[in-house]
Amino acid sequence: DYTGHKIWGPAINTSTGGNTYQTTGSHAIWTHSSFTGGPSVLTMRYSSSDTSNNLVFKINGSTHKTATLSGSLKSQTSVPVGIGGKGDGGGTWTGRISELMIFNARLDDNQLEQMESYLANKYEISSKLPADHLAQPVKGADISLHWGSNDGGTNESDWVNTVSIGKKSSKMKIWLDASDANSFTLSGSAVTAWNNKAGGSFNFDQKSGDPSRIASTYLGNVVNFDGNDQLWTNDPFKPNEFTMLSVARYTGGGNGRIITSKDRNWLFGFHSNKRNQFYFEGWINNSGNYDTEWHLHAATMNNQDQANCWTDLTQLVTDSTSAHNSNYQPSKLSLGAWSNVNEASKGEVAELVVFDSVLSTSDRQKIEGYLAHKWSLEASLPEAHLYKSSKPIIGSSPSSTVYRDLTLYSL
């Protein structure tokens, strides 16, 4: 509550025989007269079999605190497990508890989300959970199969048989397109928000400095960072797998990071005067020279600790295992600088496309072709590339090219 009492977790019997209490680090997370956050879902997991971060404390589906402890979870006669205060009767807390579940086994991340979904839906607070949480409604296109002895065409009622297959949700999670004026919130030319065209969360609406949308010499409009700017999203992107592609460049001076993370040591494409840099809490590739040319970067990361990366469609690394074993995702993506305007760059970003899976080679090449032809980078495509001389097309209709509208391509 507001007077400073915490919510205390279970007593942990450490290797030294002591007891360690993990607190929320905030004054209230349940309903209280001085707290406007309202009811929340709390999740705590402790497993002595995990080698690091074996205690995880979550609030409304997002990790709030982690710790690495040793020993097993045991009841203590002198300091028992307590609810609503410390196990010794001190540190009492003012609040309300609606439901409590305790499992004598380690639940994996998916099982934790299932429990959080149950509680959040039951108590009508699912809106507080992250946009990509299991509790949130599935978005996507409704798919139906129509068949019969005659071709019913585009009129659904002319088909003899119809069955609903369900939703097909896009694998695309983030799409920042500087050419689309409607995706920006501006103050003059200064960007206050670069909104995600893929929908949902991951809007880049946090900023420092004055990143601006400007007309580039030949590529059209891009977002410019002048060396003391930063634009990021507060929504963590932590899929098990991902594919990322971008078009960006240094403009000269302050050549640090351009596409990076706000809260992790993670970078994509550019770093320290080089243009072939990929670091996912571990070096995937560390090479390249400095220039101010536009570059098309791509990378994939799977859940088997295998990373691949490309600069201008030339593969730099194949199935690297140098990424961090668990923290290889970017988390809160950031543009222009890392952390709190650290290792900032003077640079420009034209487009960023991110998927929550490893795309097949053919699918990835379609996105590469789309970006290369859109931003006049066809020369960067290898001669053997499928879309070296022509824009990617869906099916057989030129009117449905990926180039015209990436949203038409539902990967």
The sign of the CA dihedral 149, 155, 158, 160 is positive
Split at pLDDT 50, 70, 90, the class of 82 is low
Average pLDDT over residues 118-135: 84
Instruction: Report how far residue 44's alpha carbon sits from residue 327's, in angstroms, rounded to the nearest whole number.
Output: 20
The phi and psi torsions of 227 (rounded to 5 degrees) equal 100, -10
Q: Among 26-30, 71-75, 103-107, 177-181, name the one with the lowest average pLDDT.
A: 26-30
Instruction: Report how far residue 179's alpha carbon sits from residue 383's, in angstroms, rounded to the nearest whole number.
Output: 27
Average pLDDT over residues 64-90: 63
Q: Residues 223, 348: contact at Cβ < 8 Å?
A: yes
Place of tokens 């450490």: 14
Q: What is the pLDDT of residue 14?
A: 33
Q: What is the pLDDT of residue 336?
A: 98
Q: Among 45-49, 231-235, 378-382, 406-410, name the one with the lowest average pLDDT.
A: 406-410
CA distances from 151 to 146, 155, 161, 332, 368 (A): 9, 10, 11, 49, 36
Q: Is the pLDDT reported for residue 98 higher than 60?
A: yes
What's the chain's average pLDDT? 81
Regarding predicted confidence, which is higher, 229 or 153? Answer: 229
The per-residue pLDDT for range 152-205, each reduced to its tens digit, is 777 778 888 887 666 556 789 999 999 999 999 999 889 999 999 988 789 999
Q: What is the pLDDT of residue 73?
A: 54
- Strand-strand pairing, 12-13 and 172-177: unpaired
Q: What is the pLDDT of residue 83?
A: 67
pTM above 0.85, yes or no: no
| Three-state SS at 110 | helix
Domain ranges of the chain: 1-135, 138-169, 172-408
Instruction: Report how far residue 226's alpha carbon sits from residue 228's, in angstroms, rounded to the nearest whole number.
Output: 6
Q: Is the pLDDT reported for residue 243 higher than 50?
A: yes
- For the domain covering 172-408, report its CATH number: 2.60.120.200
Regarding predicted confidence, which is higher, 87 or 369? Answer: 369
Instruction: Report how far residue 351's alpha carbon sits from residue 247's, in angstroms, rounded to the nearest whole number.
Output: 5
3-state helix, strand, coil in the chain (%, to 5): 10, 35, 55
Burial 238-267 (b: 16+ CB within 10 A, else e): bbebbbbbbbbbbbeebbbbbbbbbebebb
Q: Residues 277, 377: contact at Cβ < 8 Å?
A: no
Q: What is the pLDDT of residue 2?
A: 35
Q: Is the pLDDT reported for residue 120 higher than 70?
A: yes
Average pLDDT over residues 135-152: 72
CA distances from 159 to 149, 153, 164, 330 (A): 9, 8, 13, 47
